[in-house]
Amino acid sequence: MDFKNKILVTVLRSILGLYLVFAAVNGFFQLLPPPQLNEAANAFMTALFNTNYMLPLMSLVFLVVGLLFLFNRWSAFGAVLLAPITVNIILFHVFLDFTGWWMALIFALLHIYLALVYWSQYKPLFSQ
């Protein structure tokens, strides 16, 4: 299957890039109030916040990857940087707080699509 429809790739990469930049700015400046979470999810997020580096690091990764996607520079590398965070977002919504799952699913699907688009650049990593 051909995943490389240029217009579709550009639109979806830009949407994900804009979302990531917005999430980064929100992470740095707390523009939106935090979502209401259940007790387990709140404890997890409080622990991340109390580390004093994990949430700012995640916001920095979001900003860098979002800009890479928006400017279409090193987008394949950006998708690799984003992979561990995407996995954790999905697992957070599966195991800790199911609310907002649809947004996590859209985020993951966009990321998976871009990974498939850039798969030819990842092939050497899996060859002998």
What is the model's pLDDT at position 81? 96
What is the model's pLDDT at position 4? 75
Domain borders along the chain are 6-126
Per this entry, what is the length of the chain? 128
d(CA 116, CA 58): 23
pLDDT tens per residue across all 128 residues of the chain: 566 789 999 999 999 999 999 999 999 999 999 889 999 999 999 999 999 999 999 999 999 999 999 999 999 999 999 999 999 999 999 999 998 899 999 999 999 999 999 999 999 988 88
What is the model's pLDDT at position 2? 63
pTM summary value: 0.92
